[in-house]
Structure 1
Amino acid sequence: MGLLTDRGELEAERLTPAGERILRAASTLFYERGIRTVGVDAIADAAEVTKKTLYDRFGSKDRLIAAYLEQRNRVWHAFLDDQLAALAPQTPADVILALFAALTDWMAESRRGCGFINASVELAAPDHPAMPVIVAQKQWMRSEFMAQAALGGFADVQELADRLLLLHEGALVCFRVAAMEYAPEVAHRAAADLLAGWPRD
């Protein structure tokens, strides 16, 4: 049973070893400390490069932020691939529930919550280079819920996908903001109940 019907995923840019170190350092610092509190000096120091090298490779801090989120998106998709391979869902409904089950394991390693949601809060400007990456990641989740719902023969797949996305993203917010560590498990149970009672075509 395939999962990734349409990733809409950005291709990874070819980076020099210095560029890879910069992106790795920025990814750690942005996620752990927050995007706005981390300056290019701290990133350059952590990557053991000069600021000039950082700007040569990425052009600006804003473009580096976008690259960080693009990389996080690729990691998320690879994680889902591994989770689906391990869980081996047999039906589209199983795939949907596997996405929620994966959230529990993902959050166990991501104690500061969703990097995309965190970034959207910090980046107020709608024209920031990272905003299309954030929007695309959330749109992909909704489209995947909709695609699997259609494959499963569920009725009104747009409405069902909207509700599933609200459960999924709500769990991420509650985990981070409300210190609700069990939020992914609650969302998983709620999604199971929703699917069980949803009409089919």
Structure 2
Amino acid sequence: MAADRTTTPARERLLEAADRLFYARGIAATGVDAVLQLAGASPATLYAHFAGKDGLVAAYLERRHHRWRATWDAVLAGAEDPVDRLLSVLDALVLFRRQEGATRGCAFLAAAAELPAADHPARAWIEADTTLLHHRLHELALASGADDPRALVAELVLVYDGTLAAYARGAPDPVPAARELARHAIRRHSVTGSA
């Protein structure tokens, strides 16, 4: 990162450092000094851009949310079959992990566990991630002709969250089993097309 200090704006360096450290070590376990050192930035720069660690955490999750959404959008754009569109959340997860070099579970689930206070500025991005997941799957379930879209979404979210938990526990690739469970749920809810 030192070579980038002259060309990369300080705000981006701080976000990149926060992304690496908060995801790898956890938010609570990562002090501001570690982020500043990795970014090659001063405390004054951090406070000028983010007003402190809470603001930096919120910006880190916002940035991650936009990257995750863009990845899912791209995968969804290539899926035409209703079943494939519902399974796109798992396909996007595989692609996102590969693009990001992610080795742990979900940054949003980890943040939700570490930041229980409802008034923490990062909670808005934890909620945005949850809303995206539920609303998009609901739209896809409706479009698929599911007999009970809400029940199908609830089951798919459990499969998705379970997949992320398996990653966090270091399980070998949980996606094949997750896809089979998701396909079973989709079949039971009478989705149009072959599962």
Q: Which amino acid aligns with 1:44?
A: L
* Alignment partners' CA distance in 2, 1:146 and 1:154: 10
Partners of 2:104 and 2:144 in 1: CA distance = 34
In the other structure, the counterpart of 1:34 is 26
Distance 1:80 1:100 in 2: 9
- Do residues 76 (structure 1) and 76 (structure 2) align? no
Q: Which residue of 2 aligns with 1:113?
A: 105
Identity %: 36
Aligned to 1:133: 125
Provide the residue aligned with 2:158 in structure 1: 166
Separation in structure 2 between the aligned mates of residue 80 and residue 199 of structure 1, nearest angstrom:
24
* Pairing of 1:7-46 with structure 2 (within 5 A): 17-46=9-38
Taking a change above 3 Å as real, the CA distance of residues 181 and 135 of structure 1, as seen in their structure-2 partners, is farther
Structure 2 alignment gaps of length 5 or more = 1-7
Q: What is the TM-score normalised by the length of structure 1?
A: 0.84
Q: CA contact under 8 A between 2:82 and 2:191: conserved in structure 1?
A: no
The answer to whether the 8 A contact 2:148-2:189 is kept is no
CA distance in 1, matches of 2:10, 2:96: 28
Residue 191 (structure 1) shift: 0.6
Mean Cα displacement is larger for which, 91-100 or 66-75? 91-100
Partner residue, 2:175:
184
Q: Is the 8 A contact 1:101 1:188 kept in 2?
A: no
Q: Deviations over 1:147-178 (max 9, x none)?
A: 0111111112111111111111111012213x
Per the normalisation by structure 2, the TM-score is 0.86
Residues 75 and 200 (structure 1 numbering): CA distance in 2 closer, same or farther, change over 3 Å? closer
Describe the shift of the 1:45–1:200 C-alpha distance in structure 2 as closer, same or farther (beyond 3 A).
Answer: closer
1:127 CA drift (Å): 1.8
Provide the rounded CA distance (Å) in 2 between the counterparts of 1:174 and 1:200.
27
| Greater mean alpha carbon deviation, residues 92-101 or residues 18-27 | 92-101
Aligned AA for 2:80? Answer: Q
Q: Equivalent residue of 1:81, what SS?
A: helix
Indicate whether 1:96 and 2:83 are aligned.
no
Instruction: Tell me what 1:57 maps to.
Output: 49
The one-letter amino acid of 1:157's match is: P
Paired residues of 1:172 and 1:184 also in contact (CA < 8 A): no
Question: Taking structure 1 as reference, are residues 45 and 185 closer, same or farther at Cα in structure 2, changes over 3 Å only?
Answer: same
Aligned length: 183
The equivalent residue for 1:8 is none
Q: CA RMSD in A?
A: 1.9
Deviates more, 1:109-118 or 1:180-189: 180-189
